[in-house]
Amino acid sequence: MKTRNQLLALVCLLVFIAFGFIFFQKWAVQKPFGIILFVSDGLSTNLLTAARLYEQGPDNKLTVESFPHVVLLTNYSNDFAVPDAAAAATAIATGVKGNNRALAVDPHDPAKTLASILTMAHDAGRATGIVTTGRLTDPTPAAFYAHAPDARDAQSIALQFLTNAKVDIAMGGGMAQFTPDGKGGMRKDGRDLWLELRSKGFATVRTKAELENTPSYLTGPLAGIFADGDLPYSSEVQSGSQQPSLSDMVRRAIEFLQTNSGGYFLVVDAALISRAAEQNSGERVLTETIDFDHAVATALDYAGEKALIMAVGKHDVGGLALNGYPLRGDHGLAMLGINAGGVPAVTWSTGPNGMRPPGPSKPTPSPGVAPASGPATAAFSSSSASSAGSTGHPPPEPPRNLKSEPAAFGAPEALNTARDMIGVGAGPGSERLQGFMDNTEIFRVLKNVL
C-alpha cells in the first residue's frame, strides 16, 4: 500500500513537471536575453525592391526579407501627417505621438518629458547601447536618451548625453558637438564633454583599431566617436577609412553588452540612408541600405536565435522610385543612370536636382511653429529640421563623385514623404508584428519583453 502511494505520488509529480515544462515552452512569456532594434529611414517596399535588384538582381533576397514577422507601420506625427525625424523617432522610442521638431517631450506640454524604452530597459537591469552612422546628437539616437522642445539644439542634447543618458555603450559620429570651438569643435560654452566623459568613467575610443583592441569585459561604459560629423559612407570605409563600419560597431556592441548577466538592449540607427536621400544620391541610398542589411545579418550571427531582433522604418525621404524595364540579369551600376528606354532608372519626387516652380525661394518659420503660408510650406521646413545650418550641425555635404538623379520638384534637400514603413522581427515577442500597426506600437512590443 505504501509503495503504491509512493508510485502514485511520483507519477503525479512527473505529470506536473511535464505540464509545467510544456506550459513554459508554449504559453509562458519568455524574455529574450538580447533585444536589438534597428531603425532605418526609407524602409519601404520601393527601397527594398530597388536594393534587392541593385545588390544581385530579382532572385536576390535581403536579410530583412528572411524575417518571419512583418508589419506595415503608419508614422504620422501629432501635428503633421508627414513626420520629421524627431517625431518619428519619438513615437518609436516612447510610444507617444510627438510634434515635429520636438524630441521625447509631451506634445501638449513640452516641459513634461517622456520616458524612452532604452531608459526602461536600463532600469530593468539590462545593459544598453546606441550605435549610429550619423551623429550621436541626431534626432533618432537622441530620442532614446534626451528631451528637447527643439531637436536642432544639438549642443544641449550632447550635454544631456553626458548628464542624463542611461547608456553603457555609445558609438557614432558628432565629436564637434562634444568639444569646444577652441579645440576645433562647435561648443560655445567652452566645455569639453569628451574629457568630461572620461572623468565619469567612460572608456573612450576614436578609431576602428582602438575599438577592436578594447577588451569585451569592460568595467565601465564605453563611448566611441569616430568623426566630427557623420561617419563615412560604406563605400569610403571599404576604400581604406580608419572608421569602423556599421557592422563593425554592431558586432562590438553585442560583444560588450552580452557580458551583462541581466541581458541587454541595443538601438542601431542607419542614418546615412537619409543623408544620401536628402541629396538625391540614389547609388548611395542603395549601397547604404545594403550595408544596413549586412549589419542586420551581423546581429543575427552574434546575438543568437533567442534574441529579439527588429528592424523598423522611421520615415521616407525624397520618394525614390526605380523606373523602366531593367533586364532580369541587371544589377549594380546597370540599375543606375539612363536605362535602355532612355528613362532615368532612379528618380525622386523632391530634391536638389529638380525644377523649382515660381514662388518664394525658402520659407523661414520660427522654430517649432508652422509658417503662415500653409501645410505645404510647413512640411518643407520641418523636413530639414535636423540639418539646417542654424542647428549647430554642419550642413550636409553633397555626395562626392556621384551624380544625383532627377527630381520632380526642386528643393535644397529632399522632403519627407507620406509613406507607410515596414517593420520586421524575429525572436521572442516579434510574433506581435503583423498586419497594419502604428509606429507607437513598436514601443509596446519592446516594453512587453523587457
The mean of the pLDDT values for the chain is: 87
241 vs 76, higher pLDDT = 76
DSSP output for 349-409: EEETTBPPPSS-S---PPTTS--TT-HHHHHHHHHTTTT-GGGTSPPPPPPTT-PPPPEEE
| 365 assigned to some structural domain | no
How many domains does the structure of the chain reveal? 1
Residues of the chain above pLDDT 90, percent: 72
Residue 242's pLDDT is 82
Residue 5's pLDDT is 60
| 302 assigned to some structural domain | yes
| 348 assigned to some structural domain | no
401 vs 294, higher pLDDT = 294
What is the spatial distance between Cα 352 and Cα 400, in angstroms, rounded to a whole number?
Answer: 15
Three-state DSSP string of 304-343? CCCCEEEEEECCEECCCEECCCCCCCCCHHHHCCECCCCC
| 410 assigned to some structural domain | no
What is the CB neighbour count within 10 angstroms for residue 288? 28
Residue 383's pLDDT is 38
The residue type at 380: F
pLDDT per residue over 440-450, tens digit each? 999 999 999 99
203 vs 385, higher pLDDT = 203
| 343 assigned to some structural domain | no
Residue 57's pLDDT is 93
| 95 assigned to some structural domain | yes
Residue 396 has pLDDT above 60, yes or no: no
Lowest mean pLDDT among 6-15, 27-36, 147-156: 6-15
pLDDT per residue over 313-361, tens digit each? 999 999 999 998 888 888 898 888 887 778 889 999 999 988 776 555 4
Which cell numbers in the block locate residue 225? 566617436
Element spanning 24, H or E: helix 2-26
| 342 assigned to some structural domain | no
pLDDT confidence tier of residue 14, bands split at 50, 70 and 90? low
Find the CATH number of the domain harbouring 439.
Answer: 3.40.720.10
**Placement of cell 521638431 in the chain:** 101
Contact 231, 243 (CB under 8 A): yes
| 59 assigned to some structural domain | yes
pLDDT per residue over 246-272, tens digit each? 999 999 999 999 999 999 999 999 999
pLDDT confidence tier of residue 189, bands split at 50, 70 and 90? very high
pLDDT per residue over 116-142, tens digit each? 999 999 999 999 999 999 999 999 999
Expressed as residue numbers, the domain containing 152 is 34-321+417-447
Under DSSP, the state recorded for 344 is B
What is the spatial distance between Cα 381 and Cα 397, in angstroms, rounded to a whole number?
Answer: 19
